[in-house]
Amino acid sequence: MSKLITKTNLPFATYFITGTDTDVGKTICTKALLQAANKQSIRTLAYKPITAGCEETNEGLRNQDALILQQHSSITVDYDNVNPIAFKEPIAPHIAALKTQQVISIDTINKGLATLQIEQPQLLLVEGAGGWHLPINDQQLLSEWVVEKQLPVILVVGLKLGCLNHALLTAQTIQQSGLYIAGWIANHLQPNMPYVQDNISTLKSLIKAPLLAEIPFLKDIDEQELSSYIAVKFSS
């Protein structure tokens, strides 16, 4: 793993966490950012407005990623405030909504965000679902909501064959929408990707945003303390 990541200063704010695809480690990277901020004695919250792939419990549908975000936020809130829109099947959320005769409402997403902002977190991380252009119905994308809110974006790049194209296309699309990429995270998805540091070097030269972290491939990563990999100082 590269040790030459320059520490980046990021202001207290609400950031949107997106990825180059589904299953690239958005939740792991969001958890790492929360852990790093918590070590800096910062009031943190995380929000995952939409999930698909939940277990039925006595308390209702529960998504493992949302539970991780709830656990690692320094401010305690109810699960439904972290994840207001949940579907059981691990499929595209807008399809899950159609199958269950539900509607993914922008009003619900806005209300959930406002509810968390009442808690006055210094750092609020909003994790998307899937990649950047996630449909929430036949006419709207979640990315359009991010543009409406003008949230700065942190991009998680899952390091695998094809990641260069996926990362550059995603970064270009975000910037063309008028949004600011606050930084990106390189997340190792396999133990021995060929020429991985060459890929990271290429991305560092072509993505016009700082590399905030390089998360290694770790056994039982869900249980790991990851703050040491985050090269960020949060400040007012």
Query: Is the predicted pLDDT of residue 4 greater than 70, yes or no?
Result: no
- Pairwise CA distance, residues 166 & 207, whole Å: 12
Q: What is the DSSP string of 193-221?
A: -TTHHHHHHHHHHHSSS-EEEEEPP-TTG
Pairing between strand 60-62 and 55-57? antiparallel
CATH number at residue 96: 3.40.50.300
196 domain-assigned? yes
Query: Is the predicted pLDDT of residue 55 greater than 60, yes or no?
Result: yes
Q: What is the pLDDT of residue 6?
A: 82
Q: How many domains does the chain have?
A: 1
50 domain-assigned? yes
Q: Which domain holds residue 63?
A: 8-235
- Pairwise CA distance, residues 107 & 45, whole Å: 20
Q: What is the pLDDT of residues 142-180, one digit of tens each?
A: 999 999 999 999 999 999 999 999 999 999 999 999 999
1 domain-assigned? no
Q: What is the pLDDT of residues 75-101, one digit of tens each?
A: 999 999 999 999 999 999 999 999 999
* Catalytic site includes residue 233: no
171 domain-assigned? yes
Structure tokens at 232: 């960020």
2 domain-assigned? no
Q: Which of 7, 31, 39, 48 is an active site residue? A: 48
47 domain-assigned? yes
168 domain-assigned? yes
Q: What is the pLDDT of residue 223?
A: 87
Q: What is the pLDDT of residue 101?
A: 96
What's the first-to-final CA gap in the chain, in angstroms? Answer: 30
Residues 231/212, Cβ–Cβ less than 8 Å: yes
DSSP annotation of 141 reads B
Q: What is the pLDDT of residues 121-133, one digit of tens each?
A: 999 999 999 999 9
